[in-house]
Amino acid sequence: MTDDVFYLAAWGVLILLGLFLTALVVGSVWFLIAYVIDRRQTRHTVRRNFPVIGRFRYFFEHLGEFFRQYFFAMDREELPFNRAERSWVYRAAKNESTTVAFGSTRRLDTPGTIMFVNSPFPSLSKDLSESQSLVIGEHCRHPYAAASLVNISGMSFGALSKPAVQALSRGAAMAGCWMNTGEGGLSPYHLEGGGDIVFQIGTAKYGVRREDGSLDDEKLLEIAHNPQVKMFELKLSQGAKPGKGGILPGGKVTEEIARIRHIPVGEDSISPNGQPEVRSVEDLLDMINHIRDLTGKPTGFKAVLGSSDWIRDLCREIRQRGIDSAPDFITLDGAEGGTGAAPQSLIDYMGLPLAQALPMLVDTLDEFGLRPRIRVIASGKLITPDRVAWAICVGADFITTARGFMFALGCIQALQCNKNTCPTGITTHDPRLQRGLVPEDKAQRVAHFARSLVQEVGIIAHSCGVDEPRQLQRVHARMVQPNGEARLLSELYGREGFHPPTEGSVPD
């Protein structure tokens, strides 16, 4: 028996030694080949000067994206969303307590920081009320009474995976909020939850296009006949890439996506930079009125502001045509908005952030007496209660967020949205990776996040002494200035005592 054990042990040692020698030989051969290749190539300086070892630079550079958020970045310093923001969304989506202990980790002296004005007489529990529904497009044949303050912003099927869209659709119905289709057309997965849908008409007219890319009225009517589709949003631009159309790599253009969008399979799907039919504010109003007259449903547009000049031109044209010609809503996206893929030159440098653009838009519409005829929907990193409450204070009627709901689905900010390798299954069409996203479970998280966000905005409103969020005004918030002073938004953006023009008068 002892001899058997000895021979087995000896054979085991020999096998391990053989494997080691084999690995050593293979490794040595690989090292020599890599050394020769690196020394002879001329494209990469680091690899030419430091053969083989230089290759590890790319490996560590890739790992750095993931290690930073777990080991090195502080709670409040990571971009585009820091750990504190993501953590709040994760807890809200899981229906866990969002309370924290000891004290705030947020710097309160940084310029641009928002502070809300607490009332010495906050609203009591018996006085609290939920936000009331607001009607959008009250003069349309089919106006929309929108119930939710916070809604799901445009994310296309194609940019998002099938289970992600299914989870969002079901969660939106549970929370009673609307879901924007994004520019990729209306899929069965948007509808399966039974909730309200805002159909976005992108620059390529996906889902409602002719072969030449122009708007197909018959396809548009077919979409409009679906009772779940409540509004139409004409997309001029989005925050992350104003002046650049949507980009869907050919690897993501499956047969199903191609069928929904009416495009070829497997080819890069790149939308035009803008709406080909819309070259002026007159064209914009013509197209909005055409869509609204045809469908009978509220119609507006989505845009990013670089200045208020063209909005003023739009307002003058509306006043000349008559207030009925106005869009029913404007969705304003800030330059901090997100996307699945865009040139860094646009993401980093183009357009105004929401903090500047939102008061600019609201004040211009007020100046021309176009509120509340035109509802304002704000979008751009509004994923936490303070940001939503700030937007309401400035003048937004509704809030939409895309990345907030992506975090609710389980997004870990892996920065892989422009590839087919999203580890959480949200932005990939790889079945192996999609398997991890279970729509039934994630739909609950979507609904919890939407409800928790609205609830905590209500908590801020009550602390300010008002009964519900839409009663928040600019006098209820302050912004820290470079000199350290926290000034009221009503002082910064002003317009106290302003009287909108009467019908027929047009400001210069």
Q: What is the pLDDT of residues 392-434, one digit of tens each?
A: 999 999 999 998 898 898 887 777 777 777 888 888 878 888 8
Write the pLDDT tens digit of every residue in 26-72: 888 888 888 888 888 777 766 777 788 777 766 666 666 556 555 55
Tokens of 198: 């805002």
Lowest mean pLDDT, pick from 9-13, 470-474, 495-499:
495-499
Distance CA 162, CA 267 (A): 19
Given pLDDT bands bounded at 50, 70 and 90, which one contains residue 435? confident
Lowest mean pLDDT segment, chosen from 220-234, 339-353, 400-414, 459-473: 339-353
Task: Please give the structure tokens belonging to residue 237.
Answer: 């631009």
pTM (predicted TM-score): 0.83
CB 395 within 8 A of CB 362: yes
| Helices of type H across 296-338 | 309-321
Q: Which of 205, 399, 376 is nearest to 287 (CA)?
A: 205
What percent of the chain clears pLDDT 90, i.e. is strictly above it? 45
| Cβ neighbours for 185, distance < 8 A, ≥ 6 positions apart | 156, 157, 206, 207, 208, 260, 261, 262
Percent of the chain exceeding pLDDT 70 equals 86
For domain 136-437, the CATH class is alpha beta
pLDDT of residue 379: 93
In eight-state DSSP terms, residue 72 is I
Q: Whose structure tokens read 């939503």?
A: 388
pLDDT in tens, 191-248: 999 999 999 999 889 999 888 888 999 999 999 999 999 999 999 987 666 766 677 7
Inter-residue long-range contacts of 222-225, CB under 8 Å, 24+ positions, other chains counted:
223/186, 223/199, 224/294, 224/295, 224/296, 224/297
pLDDT at 1: 52
Residue type, 349: Y
Per-residue HEC secondary structure of 13-28 comes to HHHHHHHHHHHHHHHH
Question: Above 50 in pLDDT, residue 496?
Answer: no
Phi, psi of 160 (to 5 degrees): -105, 155
Lowest mean pLDDT among 78-82, 123-127, 378-382: 78-82
Closest CA relative to residue 374, chosen from 363, 389, 385? 363
Structure token pair of residue 458: 């209500």
Average pLDDT, the chain: 84
426, 437 contact by CB (below 8 A): yes
Question: pLDDT by residue (tens digit) across 260-282?
Answer: 888 888 887 778 888 889 999 99
Query: pLDDT tens across 298-315, in order?
Result: 999 999 999 889 999 999
Yes or no: say if 163 and 413 are a contact pair by the CB < 8 Å rule: no
State both tokens at 379.
């979008």
- In single-letter form, the type of residue at position 403 comes to R
Give the residue carrying structure tokens 């020394």. 39
Q: Which two tokens stand for residue 101?
A: 């202990």
447 contacts: CB under 8 Å, gap ≥ 6: 171, 172, 174, 175
Degrees to nearest 5, angle at CA 456 with 393 and 179: 80
Predicted local distance difference test score (pLDDT) of residue 476: 95
Residue labelled with tokens 């007219």:
205
Amino acid residing at 336: E
User: Higher pLDDT residue, 349 or 13?
Assistant: 13
Q: Picking from 369-378, 387-396, 402-411, 468-477, which range would have the lowest pLDDT averaged per residue?
A: 402-411
Residue 433: predicted pLDDT: 82
DSSP state, 157?
Answer: B
Query: Which residues are 146's β-sheet partners?
Result: 134
pLDDT band, very low/low/confident/very high, at 473 (cuts 50, 70, 90): very high
For residues 252 and 205, the model is more confident at 205
Pairing of strands 329-333, 269-270: unpaired
Lowest mean pLDDT segment, chosen from 3-7, 213-217, 425-429, 440-444: 3-7
